[in-house]
Amino acid sequence: MAAKKKAAKAGAAAIAVKNSPYVQRLVEDEELRANIAQAYDSARSAANRFSNGKSPTKAVFDDKKLQRDVRELANSLRDATVALREGPQRKRRGGFGKVLLIGLVGAGLALALSEGLRKKVLDALFGAEEEFEYSSATTASPPVTPAQTAGSTS
């Protein structure tokens, strides 16, 4: 009977862990897992450097690599705790703005590269181009010859 009680308690504990929001976040959030793995690696590296035979005081104050490992450990743990508190970030999808931007860039490229399309758009915006012929309302005077010019001065 004690075995059944232990099995029931273990099953209840497993269900509680499975339904835990922290475990759910850990399963769903890849960035959180990466932060925890980075924290573990930094802690392991710092522990190895700390126990390399130097005095602890000298290791803490003089070993730059140990200081870097401890800094990375602190940053990774901070990021992991923030992620646990806030929950997994929703992945942003493209949305309307991204589609609109891609459409505008594509339209601009099409207009820049295609003369036929550019002509159609200009015709739609400003009307079709008309052939322009210039006709003067005044008549031209006959050309002046050098003999006429010389005779008028005397």
What pLDDT sits at residue 78? 87
Please tell me whether residues 78 and 100 are part of one structural domain.
no
What pLDDT sits at residue 40? 85
Tell me whether residue 142 is in a domain.
Answer: no
Tell me whether residue 16 is in a domain.
Answer: yes
Please tell me whether residues 16 and 82 are part of one structural domain.
yes
Tell me whether residue 34 is in a domain.
Answer: yes
Tell me whether residue 150 is in a domain.
Answer: no
Q: For residues 120 and 110, what is the distance between their CA atoms, to the nearest angstrom?
A: 12
Residues in the chain with pLDDT < 50? 154
What pLDDT sits at residue 150? 61
Count of other CB atoms within 10 angstroms of residue 54: 14
Alpha helices, DSSP H only, in 19-133? 21-28, 30-50, 56-62, 64-86, 95-113, 115-126
What pLDDT sits at residue 139? 72
Please tell me whether residues 49 and 114 are part of one structural domain.
no
Please tell me whether residues 34 and 100 are part of one structural domain.
no
Compute the mean pLDDT over every residue in the chain, rounded to the nearest whole number: 77
What pLDDT sits at residue 68? 87
Helix (H) or strand (E) holding 18: helix 2-18
C-beta of residue 77 within 8 angstroms of C-beta of residue 39: yes
Tell me whether residue 22 is in a domain.
Answer: yes
Domain enclosing residue 38, as ranges: 12-86
Tell me whether residue 113 is in a domain.
Answer: yes
Q: Which of 95, 118, 93, 94 is nearest to 108 (CA)?
A: 118
What pLDDT sits at residue 39? 86
Please tell me whether residues 81 and 106 are part of one structural domain.
no
144, two tokens? 């002046």
What pLDDT sits at residue 113? 80
Please tell me whether residues 67 and 114 are part of one structural domain.
no
Please tell me whether residues 22 and 52 are part of one structural domain.
yes
Please tell me whether residues 40 and 63 are part of one structural domain.
yes
- Predicted structure pTM score: 0.43
List of long-range contacts for 120-128, beta carbons under 8 Å, 24+ apart: none
Q: For residues 50 and 57, what is the distance between their CA atoms, to the nearest angstrom?
A: 10
Q: How many domains does the chain have?
A: 2
Q: Which of 135, 33, 113, 131 is nearest to 79 (CA)?
A: 33
